[in-house]
Amino acid sequence: MARSRISSRGSGSGRGPRRISTTEELADEYAYVIKDLRNILLLAAVMFALLIVLNLIL
């Protein structure tokens, strides 16, 4: 009983070794994040420009 408890502690979570993803896999998996960030940046730039234009007009 004690041996099984000790051996289970050393094995971690029991899911096996973790696999490290490659850069290509991460780029494919998270491509939508880059697209969303570009859209947010574009929207922020347009809104900032609108604020400047409105400041000059009003």
Task: Please report whether residue 17 resides in a domain.
Answer: no
Question: What is the extent of the structural domain holding 41?
Answer: 23-58
Q: Which residue matches tokens 């502690």? A: 9
> Residues 8-24: what's their mean pLDDT?
72
| Domains in the chain, number | 1
Task: Please report whether residue 51 resides in a domain.
Answer: yes
Q: Is the pLDDT of residue 52 over 90?
A: yes
Task: Please report whether residue 27 resides in a domain.
Answer: yes
Task: Please report whether residue 13 resides in a domain.
Answer: no
Name the amino acid, one letter, at 6.
I
Task: Please report whether residue 52 resides in a domain.
Answer: yes
What's the DSSP call for residue 29?
A: H
Structure token digits, residue 4: 């099984």
Whole-structure pTM value? 0.55
> Residues 21-30: what's their mean pLDDT?
86
What's the DSSP call for residue 1?
A: -
Q: How confident is the model at residue 11 (pLDDT cuts 50, 70, 90)?
A: low
Task: Please report whether residue 29 resides in a domain.
Answer: yes
Reduced to 3 states (helix: H, G, I; strand: E, B; else coil), residue 6 is helix
